[in-house]
Structure 1
């Protein structure tokens, strides 16, 4: 009986030791677990930072001049109705008119036969081409982006002032023309169709 009691006591002590032992803490998340969490795509309907940046670009795009035009003002099309483009100041005649917009300081457009033929960017305008070329850019910058442009002496300024005109400048096709000042920097940018693209005094 003593032997049985002794065995019982030993078993009781072993059981007590097991039950009173400290529990191991739960394993912490590893670096691979963190990576897995980060890899989970966002829920449908949530907006990521890159998507947020994309949705903020339309305003910036409105200040980009392209061969097709500037914003709602399109080469070869009538001046858009209900917008801010309108005739301002004295006009030289009925055949050729100029329009401008308070939304685009330093920019005006030539309208002939009811359609936009040229858009001119000058002054302190922030409007630029998609390549980043704007007023004040160097002649070197222009030639770096637009090689093969035809050079002509400037009508009102001495050399090195000049005109740089795209080789595809012709009636019915939109093209680029730069005016380079004596400081070898862009003073005016024109986009439009010949002959209006080549006018040196607004409508003339």
Structure 2
């Protein structure tokens, strides 16, 4: 074999070896695809509980104060209304007026001759009696605590709607009266003295 032939053979062999190496894939570094520490935590937004039931509704102002025969907080039967109670588009006259307070939504005070004679807890109020009875309670629940109340027909709703009035309502002292709707539940509660306790339309 001549020297020229030998050089051609060696050159061809070297070229083939370099081509074979080029076809092999170099492995990527082990940490090349790994995100930097903390990157996953930064990229993923915090998951917050969106279930409305998990968040308790705000407590209505004044709801924790119970309704008693003597009154509601500083609003007392037989006394002048305290500051904060005023006529807001309700019935008002020198002899009789209906007052409300922003601290007790859904509660109304009937004032005759300057003195509170009746307090009404209506549909928008969460105020309850100390027995736990409030608007929305069933007639059966009322009967468990207040047996012997007089039943009279409701002035504006058909039976089974009715009024339930304490048997001592005519004694001259404050008494309790429930309005029961056609669904058999309390639609309003009143404490006060007669005749105001029995009024069905404003001051009459």
Same fold per superposition (TM over 0.5): yes
* CA deviation map 1:43-66 (0-9, x unaligned): xxxxxxxxxxxxxxxx97852000
Number of residue pairs the alignment of both structures matches: 144
1:93 shift after superposition: 2.9
* CA deviation map 1:92-139 (0-9, x unaligned): 532111110000111101000110000000112110000000000000
Unaligned runs of 5+ in 1: 1-58
Pairing of 1:164-203 with structure 2 (within 5 A): 164-170=164-170, 172-203=172-203
- Alignment partner of 1:86: what SS? coil
In the alignment, is residue 129 of structure 1 matched against residue 129 of structure 2? Answer: yes
Pairing of 1:11-90 with structure 2 (within 5 A): 62-80=64-82, 83-90=83-90
In the superposition, relative to structure 1, how do residues 153 and 113 fare at CA in structure 2: closer, same or farther (>3 Å)?
A: same
Q: Is the 8 A contact 2:62 2:104 kept in 1?
A: no
TM-score (norm 2): 0.67
1:184 shift after superposition: 0.3
Match of 2:109 in 1: 109
Q: Is the 8 A contact 1:98 1:110 kept in 2?
A: yes
Q: Is the 8 A contact 1:118 1:193 kept in 2?
A: yes
Match of 2:138 in 1: 138
In the superposition, relative to structure 1, how do residues 187 and 85 fare at CA in structure 2: closer, same or farther (>3 Å)?
A: same
Query: Cα RMSD over matched residues?
Result: 1.6
- Alignment partner of 2:67: what SS? strand
* CA deviation map 1:145-171 (0-9, x unaligned): 000000001011000000000000026
TM-score (norm 1): 0.67
In the superposition, relative to structure 1, how do residues 149 and 118 fare at CA in structure 2: closer, same or farther (>3 Å)?
A: same
**In 1, Cα distance between equivalents of 2:122 and 2:90:** 19
1:183 shift after superposition: 0.2
- Alignment partner of 1:129: what SS? coil
Match of 2:160 in 1: 160
**In 1, Cα distance between equivalents of 2:90 and 2:178:** 25
**In 2, Cα distance between equivalents of 1:98 and 1:104:** 14
- Alignment partner of 2:170: what SS? coil
